[in-house]
Structure 1
């Protein structure tokens, strides 16, 4: 901590490939869930004006549970393990956060 400070830890978390991948996945799933919800909302407004009923069969998300996919991405992000901060991971933390009396250097 003395050498690196909290900024180094935050930078390590934000720059970790695991974090970047999980954030990208969560953003993509949120976009898809929003797109499907918007498409279905549009159908509820358009259908009363036409005799034939439009469906979401032409949507790329027809039959896809986008809400569940988004929830799974959020859950994966919340349980993310970043190897650079994990003592057991490949990166290994050189210094601990100073939360105990025993430190390994």
Structure 2
């Protein structure tokens, strides 16, 4: 399954579970005068982020398919979030995402 499809399924499931979730659109484009424009989020920022309605706790979800592995910049961002005890992890399915969010897991999937 493509990563985009996994993201979409996660967004639907997490929204239905009482959370607000956003997709972090990032990228670079070349302007008409030849300069590069970066969307502004830090390198390695996870694909999805949001908060639980029950307590306002924020979470970050990096989406990967069954064989996907985190890039170096994603691992650095994970290490930063871990140092602050922020709920986050790698989700390969809606079930993974809900486990991360509902159990307040810090770093799920990065230990592999």
Larger radius of gyration between Structure 1 and Structure 2: 1
Same fold (TM over 0.5): no
Give the structure with the higher percent strand. 2
TM-score norm. by structure 1 comes to 0.28
Structure with the higher fraction of residues in helix conformation: 1
